[in-house]
A and B are shown apart, each in its own frame.
Chain A
Amino acid sequence: MPQFDFANVFLPQFVWLVGFFALLYFGIVKLTLPKLGKVIDTREGKVRSDILGAEAAKAESDKMAADYAAGIAAARDDARAVLTAAKAKSAKSVETKLAKAGGKTDAMIDDAETRIAAARGAAMGEIEAVAAEAAQAIVTKLTGLQPAKSDAQAAVKSAMAA
């Protein structure tokens, strides 16, 4: 095998290999890979920052959604409170109005009753006077005697009281 002809084959290959490998490492790989490494690092950084940004945006939107839900809940509570208050107020005002109207009616009823009583008294007095005159006239016609007005009146009174 030519590979084992060390005396003739080894040294030139070894020397060229070392030279070429040094050239490869310092002249090619060292000049190119760091550029690539930088780009890869930048890309990783960008991806990481993008993910962080997205996470922050998501947290913000979550917060906004929570705020919104809380706002809705608060508004609903407010509306309910306002509704309750309005209901209570309207009930109260109806009550007072009813009470006021009731008082007025009572007064009117009382007034009417006193007037009725007065009218009845007046009517009674007139009836008595008319009855007394009628009794006087009847007695006069029957007996020809004219009874005194006061007697007639007293007789009417006792008759009516009975």
Chain B
Amino acid sequence: MSGPMEQFQIKVLRPIEANGYDLSFTNSSLWMAIALGVVAIFMFVGTMRPQLVPGRWQAAVEYLYDFVRNMVDETVGPEGKRFAPLIFSVFIFVLACNLLGLIPWVGAFTPTSHIAVTLGLAAIVFGIVCIVGFALHGFKFFKLFWPAGSGVLLGAFVFVIEFLSFLSRPFTLAIRLFANMTAGHVLLKVFGTFVVTLGSFQALPYVFGVLPLAVNVALAALEVLIAVVQAYVFALLASLYLNDAINLH
């Protein structure tokens, strides 16, 4: 029987190498591509013929877009409007990866359970936040780390702390998502293993497997919730960081 960590194994589907760097198309890439395809179908069908009175697909896309737009509006304000598509992209990508990875039987892989992917996403967000901050404020962007109205000594001390916390943001952002996804999938796998081992108990077959199975059903529902919530948290934090870059304090 496979261990609970085996589901996170990267399998190279098509080895690609460029200049000595390994850029292989892996199962992670495949499931990112599938997520992208699902998102593409969702988006293109939903906006094929935009109408004043939306149909079902359009209403679904509009619902998500409205959700993200309101979130950005609340956290950033009116200047954040042009970043709504970006936050929307982050949100829907994480959401699609999280949810598709939960599909059983088909050998689904969850790209967001890999710190490489979550850190990559966090780096994209962090990079955009830095670019936006410096583009809008220049070197005044560093005022973000300086506490207003404090002495030089205290100010410098807080500056260092704030700067370090700013630098740690992409890592906390990445690890939060990665840890949530990994933990959920490990739990599902562990209880799935319990179902098999307890269910094949010699004396009373199938009887003891029922309990971990029930737990797994509940866990699956919880994981769907976590998949959505973590996508939301990721997008929300991204827009909060963007707010720092746009409005400073």
- List 25 A-B residue pairs with CB atoms under 8 Å apart, sorted by A's residue number: A2-B8, A3-B182, A8-B22, A9-B114, A10-B116, A11-B23, A12-B28, A13-B26, A13-B29, A13-B120, A14-B116, A18-B124, A21-B93, A24-B89, A24-B93, A28-B39, A28-B44, A29-B88, A30-B85, A31-B44, A33-B43, A33-B84, A35-B47, A38-B50, A39-B52
- What's the least CB distance linking A8 to chain B, in Å? 7
Q: Which residues of B contact A (CB under 8 A)?
A: 5, 8-10, 16, 21-26, 28-29, 32-33, 36, 39-40, 43-44, 46-47, 50-52, 54, 58, 61-62, 65-66, 84-86, 88-89, 92-93, 111, 113-117, 119-121, 124, 178, 182
Chain B residues contacting A15 (CB-CB under 8 Å) are 23
**Closest B residue by C-beta to A42:** B52
Question: Closest residue of chain A to B81, judged by CB?
Answer: A37
Contact A20 B36 (CB under 8 A): yes
Q: Interface size on A (CB < 8 Å)? A: 39
Q: Quick check: is A68 within 8 A (CB to CB) of the other chain?
A: no
Is A16 within 8 A of B25, CB to CB? Answer: yes
Q: Is the CB of B88 within 8 A of A13?
A: no
Known A-B contacts A18-B120, A28-B36, A38-B50; A12 and B8 likewise in contact (beta carbons under 8 Å): no
Which B residues are in CB contact (< 8 Å) with A16? 23, 25-26, 28-29, 32
Residues from chain A with a CB closer than 8 A to the CB of B85 are 25, 29-30, 33-34
A34-B47 Cα distance, complex, nearest whole Å: 9
Which residues on B sit within 8 Å (CB–CB) of A87? none
Query: Footprint of B on A, CB under 8 Å?
Result: 1-6, 8-18, 20-21, 23-25, 27-40, 42-43, 46
CB <8 Å contact, B117 and A17: yes
Q: Which residues of B contact A10 (CB under 8 A)?
A: 116
Residues from chain A with a CB closer than 8 A to the CB of B51 are 39
Q: Is the CB of A9 within 8 A of B116?
A: yes
Q: What residues of chain B lie closer than 8 Å to A13, measured between beta carbons?
A: 10, 26, 28-29, 111, 114, 116-117, 120
Q: Are A20 and B32 in touch, CB under 8 angstroms? A: yes
A15 to B117, CA, bound (A): 9
**Chain A nearest CB: distance from B96 CB in Å?**
9
The answer for the CA separation of A29 and B82 in the assembled complex, in Å, is: 13
Residues in A with CB closer than 8 Å to B39 are: 24, 28
What distance in Å separates the Cβ of A48 from its nearest Cβ neighbour in chain B?
13
Residues in A with CB closer than 8 Å to B65 are 33, 36-37, 40
Are A3 and B113 neighbours in the complex by a CB distance under 8 Å?
Answer: yes
Q: Which residues of B contact A21 (CB under 8 A)?
A: 89, 93, 120-121, 124
Question: Could you say which residues of chain B place their CB within 8 Å of the CB of A40?
Answer: 62, 65-66
A3 x B114 contact (CB < 8 A): yes
